[in-house]
Structure formats: structure tokens, C-alpha cells
């Protein structure tokens, strides 16, 4: 399955003569698109490469990765188990992603964020007891051991981006994206380290603090580059992060306006936060006359979860 490249579309010129473009990863033509299609494909390839036959994922009810993985597995008849933690406040929400996971036949096992390690180990053991060879997407029960696989996805997209800029006779001065686990941003940073290009990459945190986010990205980059002392510049902005899944009315208004003015769907957990953060940062950093790329990382089902709030 190779759907690249995804379209890059011009959106508008702002009051400081910045030209804003968007790369539509949300239009990847499988399971409602998004960065998790690319990352999920790398994980599925790695499962097969490792000779495994049972996908074990971890993600909450809103997880786009779990939707994509369960869809990929359904298509190939690979059993898929999703360990699904409650939110920090102990609640779980209903969502289109969750419903699709169930519709694709994934086994959803509720768990607590505090007991991840035990939950993962129990799931792996149960799978082995059934005579299967389980593949845990994050490697071992501590969440390391498989840092390289997801990074590969956006390391490849960096190459795609370089060719697209060449074909469009355009150079992006800045790239903004929603950054969560950091797998996507780490991939772009590795691409830049390996293939060059001086676009400034700005991750807008959707949950983590700057220190925590940076540390995770650095861990991915170092693992991928096989260089434990490498220290690339990592811009990870936590000024808009709030708590995972929370948003302000200004973010909601930005999503409403992007939909009205550009027909661009932005969800309120990831891309709406990041797009809003990008517009704020362009002003705060007094960026003018530059070419700006927003990487639309997807989340279409989350957009529809909140449509009622976005358009009020």
C-alpha cells in the first residue's frame, strides 16, 4: 500500500505576508487517513517481519492509531487486542474510533494508566497461552524495544516533502504539527538529519510538557540514528497543550473558522490545537513573509465526535 504523496494545498496569506500551506495527511486513502496510517503500516510490516501473528496495541478510546491498526488487522485476518486506558480523570469516552475498533473485531481490554506494565504482560501471556506469537507495538511492557519502527514512517515523509518542494519550486521555512508521543516529529527530525533541508520543525504539544515531550522525541531520534549522544534542536511548544483532550473556546473558534473558510476539518484533540498554536506562534515569534506548512495529521473521526461543539 503506497499512497504517497499526499496533496499540499495553499490555504491563505496572513496579515504578515506569510503564505500558509497544508499537507493533507488526513486524505491518505485508508481508514480515514492520518499519520497513524503510515505508522500503522510500519508496525504491521514489522509484525510480519518478526514472524508474529497477534497485534497488541495500547491506546485510549480516542486513539487514531488503534482504529487504523484494528482496520489493517481486520483486512488481513490478524487478531488484534487493544489495551485501552481510562483518561487521567478516570473517565472513558465513547468515540467513533472506539466504535470502529469494535466493529473491526478488535478485542478491547479496559485498563488503568497506572497499571500499563502488568496489563501488557498479562495480555502477552494470554496470547502465548493461546498458542499465538504476540507483537506489542511498543516493544516490551516498559514501552521500549520498538522505538525505530514508528519513526521510519515520517523519516520517509521527509523525503516526500523534499521532492514535493522541488516539484512545486517552493521552500518551506517553517513546518508546524501536532505532537503527542513524538513519533511523527522524531521521524521528520531524522529525515532532516539524514537528507538535509533547513525547514524549522515546530511541534505543538497536545498534552505533554516541554521537557517531557522533548525527552521522548530525543529518545526516538537517538534510537533511530543509533547515536546516544546526538542532541538535535527540538522545538516542542507546550503553551497550548492543556490536558489531553481539553481545548479552549479560542481553539474551538479556530476550528470553526478553518472549516468555514477553507473547508478544512480540524479536530479538537490534535490538529485544532496545533493549528491554533501555529497561528499564535506566527504572531508571537513575529514571523513574516515566510512559507509555512501545516502538517495535517488526520483525526477525521475525532472531528465528527466534536462536530456539534465545533459548529455550535
Contact residues toward ligand PLP (CB under 6 A) are 34-36, 64, 178-185, 270-271, 297-299
CB of 213 to ligand PLP, least distance (A): 9
CA atoms within 13 A on the CB side of 266: 31
CB of 219 to ligand PLP, least distance (A): 13
C-alpha angle 168-257-208 in degrees, rounded to nearest 5: 80
Beta-bridge partner residues of 10: 21
Of 100 and 127, which has the nearer Cβ to ligand PLP?
A: 100
Of 127 and 191, which has the nearer Cβ to ligand PLP?
A: 191
CB of 22 to ligand PLP, least distance (A): 13
CB atoms < 10 A from the CB of 16, how many? Answer: 12
Of 13 and 211, which has the nearer Cβ to ligand PLP?
A: 211
Of 8 and 66, which has the nearer Cβ to ligand PLP?
A: 66
CB of 267 to ligand PLP, least distance (A): 6
SS (H, E, C) 147-170: CHHHHHHHHHHHHHHHHHHHHHCC
CB of 127 to ligand PLP, least distance (A): 25
Of 134 and 298, which has the nearer Cβ to ligand PLP?
A: 298
Of 64 and 199, which has the nearer Cβ to ligand PLP?
A: 64
CB of 60 to ligand PLP, least distance (A): 11
The 8 Å CB, 24+ separation contacts for 98-102 are: 98/61, 98/62, 100/31, 100/67, 100/70, 100/71, 100/301, 101/66, 101/67, 101/70
CB of 178 to ligand PLP, least distance (A): 4
Going by C-alpha positions, the residue among 21, 39, 16, 128 that lies closest to residue 79 is 128
**66 within 8 A of 32, measured Cβ to Cβ:** no
Distance in angstroms (rounded) separating the CA atoms of residues 282 and 272: 16
**13 within 8 A of 286, measured Cβ to Cβ:** no
Of 80 and 204, which has the nearer Cβ to ligand PLP?
A: 204
Amino acid at each position: 500500500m503506497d499512497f504517497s504523496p499526499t496533496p499540499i494545498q495553499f490555504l491563505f496569506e496572513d496579515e504578515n505576508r506569510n503564505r500558509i500551506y497544508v499537507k493533507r495527511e488526513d486524505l491518505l486513502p485508508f481508514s480515514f487517513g492520518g499519520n497513524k496510517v503510515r505508522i500503522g503500516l510500519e508496525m504491521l510490516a514489522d509484525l510480519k517481519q518478526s514472524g508474529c501473528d497477534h497485534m497488541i496495541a495500547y491506546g485510549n478510546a480516542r486513539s487514531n492509531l488503534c482504529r487504523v491498526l484494528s482496520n489493517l488487522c481486520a483486512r488481513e485476518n490478524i487478531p488484534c487486542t487493544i489495551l485501552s486506558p481510562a483518561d487521567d480523570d478516570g473517565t472513558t469516552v465513547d468515540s467513533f474510533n472506539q466504535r470502529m475498533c469494535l466493529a473491526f473485531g478488535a478485542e478491547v481490554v479496559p485498563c488503568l494508566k497506572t497499571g500499563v506494565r502488568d496489563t501488557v504482560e498479562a495480555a502477552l501471556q494470554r496470547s502465548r497461552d493461546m498458542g499465538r506469537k504476540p507483537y506489542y507495538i511498543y516493544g516490551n511492557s516498559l514501552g521500549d524495544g520498538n522505538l525505530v519502527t514508528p519513526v521510519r514512517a515520517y523519516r520517509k515523509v521527509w523525503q516526500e516533502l523534499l521532492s514535493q518542494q522541488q516539484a512545486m519550486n517552493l521552500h518551506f521555512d517553517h513546518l508546524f504539527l501536532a505532537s503527542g508521543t513524538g513519533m511523527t516529529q522524531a521521524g521528520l527530525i531524522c529525515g532532516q538529519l539524514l537528507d538535509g533541508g533547513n525547514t524549522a520543525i515546530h511541534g505543538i504539544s497536545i498534552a505533554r510538557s516541554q521537557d517531557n515531550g522533548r525527552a521522548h522525541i530525543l529518545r526516538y531520534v537517538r534510537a533511530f540514528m543509533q547515536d546516544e549522544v546526538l542532541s538535535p534542536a527540538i522545538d516542542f511548544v507546550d503553551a497550548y497543550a492543556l490536558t489531553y483532550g481539553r481545548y479552549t473556546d479560542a481553539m474551538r473558534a479556530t476550528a470553526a473558522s478553518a472549516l468555514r473558510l477553507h473547508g478544512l476539518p480540524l479536530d479538537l484533540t490534535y490538529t485544532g490545537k496545533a493549528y491554533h498554536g501555529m497561528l499564535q506562534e506566527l504572531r508571537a515569534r513575529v514571523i513574516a513573509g515566510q512559507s509555512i506548512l501545516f502538517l495535517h495529521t488526520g483525526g477525521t473521526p475525532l472531528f465528527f465526535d466534536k462536530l456539534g461543539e465545533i459548529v455550535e
